[in-house]
């Protein structure tokens, strides 16, 4: 239990520094002229908020919910790292237009499900965004490209974004995807691969086994959050030329301490 407490404390220190950096960046939002810069600042804001929520859930022992939100953090981080790594404006446009097509599908599905006589969402903004997105994809892939083919073949999703990363972060993301993402996805869709009946036995041995399982899951969540937030901060620092290296050294040291502590446990 002490290890869990220490891990949460160190993770909180990482998030405290991340929140300070994110708040400082956000205050300069209007000074960023490029679309990709603004997109990455907004993605960082979302990630820092997600990470803070995850740690709060961990403290309150809502581990399943924390795992589900960590899955979202993995996805959003993939986009942030993808855009901030290189070809910033080109990648930002791909992200923005892929998102527009996804939002249009969600709005249409919602309106289709609304009972007759009830107020539906005004789709004019989403229609316009979809039109711009289709023009963008057809300029790149041919004017005859069908909408369904565009969605299946050319739009960006978190895994495609992560697959185009390079260097150390690509290896890290692949590891996190294999060890964490699939299981968290199953959980979020009500298909937890760990049988619900495994720990139903009330014997003392079963309780010990269950607690061990919980500790492993908790530490995996904390480690994943810390690693992703650190990479997010390092990449956006380089992209926006913020020169927060001294601040990031403190965050990195705490992340390394979390990883070392978990290894020893």
196 pLDDT higher than 60? no
9 or 213: which leads in pLDDT = 9
Q: What is the pTM of this model?
A: 0.90
Are 254 and 12 spatial neighbours (Cβ–Cβ below 8 Å)?
no
Q: Is the pLDDT of residue 195 over 60?
A: no
User: Mapped to the 3 state alphabet, what secondary structure does 77-118 carry?
Assistant: HHHHHHHHHCCHHHHHHHHHHHHHHHHHHHHHHHHHHCCCCC
**3 state DSSP class of 261:** helix
> Which range is least confidently modeled, 52-66, 82-96, 107-121, 210-224?
210-224
Q: Are 82 and 98 contacting, i.e. CB atoms less than 8 angstroms apart?
A: no
CA 93 distance to own-chain centroid:
19
Percent of the chain with pLDDT over 90: 68
Q: What angle do helix axes 35-59 and 2-27 make, rounded to 10 degrees?
A: 150
- Return all residues near 138 (Cβ < 8 A) that are at least 6 apart: 144, 145, 150
Residue 11: both structure tokens together: 């993770």
pLDDT at residue 262, rounded to an integer: 86
- The single-letter DSSP state of residue 180 is I
Residues 6 or more apart from 233 whose CB is under 8 A from it?
18, 21, 44, 244, 248, 251
Give the CA-trace dihedral at 121, 125, 130, 135, to 10 degrees.
160
Tokens of 18: 């991340």
The predicted model gives 188-207 an average pLDDT of 62
CA nearest to 235, candidates 180, 161, 131: 161
Residue 133 has pLDDT above 90, yes or no: yes
Q: Token pair of 64, please?
A: 């399943």
Count, residues in the chain: 265
Q: How many CB atoms lie within 10 A of CB 185?
A: 16
């Amino acid at each position: 239990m002490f290890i869990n407490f220490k891990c949460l404390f160190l993770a909180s220190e990482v998030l405290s520094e991340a929140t300070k950096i994110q708040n400082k960046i956000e205050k300069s939002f209007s000074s960023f002229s490029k679309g990709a810069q603004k997109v990455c600042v907004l993605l960082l804001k979302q990630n820092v908020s997600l990470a803070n929520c995850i740690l709060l859930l961990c403290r309150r022992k809502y581990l399943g919910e924390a795992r589900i939100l960590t899955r979202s953090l993995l996805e959003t981080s993939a986009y942030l790292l993808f855009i901030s790594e290189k070809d910033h404006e080109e990648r930002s446009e791909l992200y923005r237009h892929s998102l527009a097509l996804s939002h249009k599908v969600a709005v249409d599905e919602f309106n289709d499900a609304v009972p007759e006589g009830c107020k539906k969402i005004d789709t004019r903004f989403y229609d316009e965004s979809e039109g711009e997105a289709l023009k963008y994809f057809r300029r790149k892939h041919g004017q005859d490209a069908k909408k369904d083919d565009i969605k299946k073949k050319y739009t960006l999703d978190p895994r495609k974004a992560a697959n185009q990363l390079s260097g150390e972060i690509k290896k890290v993301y692949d590891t996190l995807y294999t060890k964490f993402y699939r299981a968290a996805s199953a959980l979020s869709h009500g298909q937890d691969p760990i049988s619900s009946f495994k720990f139903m036995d009330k014997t003392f041995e079963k309780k010990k086994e269950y607690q061990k399982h919980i500790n492993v899951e908790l530490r995996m969540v904390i480690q994943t959050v810390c690693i992703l937030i650190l990479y997010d901060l390092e990449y956006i620092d380089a992209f926006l030329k913020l020169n927060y290296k001294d601040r990031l050294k403190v965050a990195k040291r705490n992340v390394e301490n979390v990883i070392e502590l978990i290894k020893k446990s």
